């Protein structure tokens, strides 16, 4: 029962994110920029502190936009007429988003400013030698992209149903990452077998259809292979 409640809480939280992406233009802009920045990270030899700064900054901007959306809906639900305090509340929430956006620009200038003087495609030689940062960023890109696609299709819930299957996408992304790093047949077969078991479990539990699982696997595999292929 406790596990179910925990899963439900995650489901509601992700559902809120997907709803914001689906209905809020600014959230779609923020998510798109976040994906681009994460991909750009592959082009530069960033330190651990720089990667941490980028991730925290992205999280702050998205959180601020989520709070702003929540405030707007809460006010609209309780006020059906113009009220100056309602206007002030919305403006203050929007101001919070603006501050985080300005901070993001500042962080981006500090982290990438000196590196933009020349295009440095070092990154992906490191993919084969693979640092944990590379894998982490790839998985983040797959997760964000999957949420975006789910928002576009507008079917199911974040952790159950909908196109594509997030579990399948992430499982096959991990399997593809392992396959590209190791190149050992036994490890590759085992990795994809485990991914297949994850995908099959989603069908058996009736959380997804076979088509949704297949598309999820293809989606996760292609994005991961694309990132490794371009930068590798």
Specify whether the CB–CB gap between 205 and 222 falls below 8 A: no
- In sequence order, what are the beta bridge partners of 157? 160
Q: What is the pLDDT of residue 57?
A: 92
Kindly report, residue by residue over 31-82, the tens digit of the pLDDT.
888 888 887 777 777 888 888 898 899 999 999 999 988 888 888 878 777 7
For residue 21, is pLDDT > 70?
yes
Kindly report, residue by residue over 165-211, the tens digit of the pLDDT.
878 888 888 888 887 777 667 677 778 888 887 787 777 666 777 77
Q: What is the pLDDT of residue 141?
A: 79
Q: What is the pLDDT of residue 123?
A: 40
Active site residue 65: yes
Whole-angstrom Cα distance, residue 48 to residue 129?
16
What is the model's pTM?
A: 0.54
Please tell me which residue in 65, 72, 206, 212 is annotated as part of the active site. Answer: 65
Alpha helices in 113-165 (DSSP H): 125-128, 132-153
User: Hey, what long-range contacts does 119-125 have (CB within 8 A, 24 or more apart)?
Assistant: 119/43, 120/43, 120/44, 120/45, 121/43, 121/231, 122/43, 122/44, 122/45, 123/41, 123/42, 123/43, 123/44, 123/45, 123/231, 124/42, 124/228, 124/230, 124/231, 124/232, 125/232
Of the two residues 21 and 229, the one the predictor is more confident about is 21
Token pair of 4, please?
A: 């179910």
In the chain, pLDDT over 90 holds for what percent of residues?
4
């Amino acid at each position: 029962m406790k596990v179910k409640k925990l899963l439900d809480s995650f489901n509601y939280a992700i559902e809120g994110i997907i709803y914001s992406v689906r209905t809020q233009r600014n959230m779609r802009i923020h998510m798109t920029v976040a994906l681009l920045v994460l991909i750009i990270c592959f082009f530069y030899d960033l330190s651990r502190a720089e990667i941490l700064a980028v991730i925290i900054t992205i999280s702050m901007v998205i959180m601020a936009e989520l709070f702003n959306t929540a405030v707007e809906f809460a006010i609209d639900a309780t006020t059906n007429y113009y009220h100056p305090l309602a206007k002030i509340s919305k403006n203050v929430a929007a101001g919070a988003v603006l501050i985080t956006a300005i901070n993001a620009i500042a962080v981006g200038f500090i982290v990438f400013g000196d590196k933009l003087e020349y295009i440095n495609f070092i990154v992906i030689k490191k993919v084969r030698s693979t640092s944990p940062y590379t894998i982490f960023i790839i998985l983040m890109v797959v997760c964000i992209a999957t949420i975006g696609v789910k928002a576009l299709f507008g079917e199911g819930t974040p952790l159950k149903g909908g196109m594509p299957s997030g579990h399948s996408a992430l499982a096959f992304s991990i399997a593809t990452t392992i396959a590209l790093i190791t190149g050992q047949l036994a490890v590759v077969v085992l990795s994809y077998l485990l991914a297949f078991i994850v995908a099959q479990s989603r069908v058996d539990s009736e959380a997804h259809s076979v088509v949704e699982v297949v598309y999820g696997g293809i989606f996760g595999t292609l994005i991961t292979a694309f990132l490794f292929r371009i930068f590798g």
